[in-house]
Chain A
Amino acid sequence: DAKTTQPNSMESNEEEPVHLPCNHSTISGTDYIHWYRQLPSQGPEYVIHGLTSNVNNRMASLAIAEDRKSSTLILHRATLRDAAVYYCILRDEGQTGANNLFFGTGTRLTVIP
């Protein structure tokens, strides 16, 4: 499984943008970049995913480097409810049905009121 590297923790002030980085230097051509987050005592929640182009949805934006060796999850205005552990995961979409999501240690985001 392709490995990702994320900072262990980050802090943000409420209502400010947050940029969560992820390095994946060994990414392959068919690996999609997935982001999930886990709030305390809950199952992970899907946030966003992408392949090459930047992606936007109602929760966040995903900025993918041109060489695809890194990506950044952007929360445009952090709220207290965004405090969670954010996981950046690579999944090989070239193996439909056979590939799974393997979680790393993630980044624990603390939002300061």
Chain B
Amino acid sequence: GAVVSQHPSWVICKSGTSVKIECRSLDFQATTMFWYRQFPKQSLMLMATSNEGSKATYEQGVEKDKFLINHASLTLSTLTVTSAHPEDSSFYICSARDLTGIQETQYFGPGTRLLVL
């Protein structure tokens, strides 16, 4: 199947700093990418849908000014957690949709674990 990468795989930062997470589709072009967040022992929660060349669509309750999403190319989307606080510590997972097949298949990255001290 298609490959989606994330960088970094884990990050520790001080409270108040900003952290950028990159998501790349390695062998296909993705006009749409998704960002999820997962807290311990919970399921994945969709945060936002990122469309290449346009503004992201955020789910209810997700602050767009805090979680900045940029999807500047067909293979790269970035999520920036601005002014991170300990409650933002979580497992962030991106996903990209491969439209080249007969039916769309969504592939997930390995996740980025963020710890805010």
Contacts and interface: CB of A to CB of B under 8 A. Distances in A.
Nearest to B91: A41
B103 A104 contact: no
Interface in A65-113: 87, 93, 96-97, 100-106
B43 A106 contact: yes
B106 A42 contact: no
B44 A103 contact: yes
A87 B108 CA distance: 14
B103 A49 contact: yes
Interface of B is mostly: strand
Contacts of A42: 110-111
Interface residues on A, range: 20 to 34
A44 B43 contact: no
B111 A46 contact: no
Contact of B46 (A32, A45, A102): A102
B34 interface: yes
B58 interface: no
Interface of A: 32, 34, 36, 38, 41-46, 49, 87, 93, 96-97, 100-106
B32 interface: yes
B43 A103 contact: yes
B106 A46 contact: yes
Interface in B1-21: 1, 4, 6
Contacts of A106: 43
A38 B46 CA distance: 15
Given A42-B110, A43-B110, A43-B111, A100 B49 contact: yes
B105 interface: yes
A105 B105 contact: no
Given A97-B32, A105-B43, A106-B43, A43 B109 contact: yes
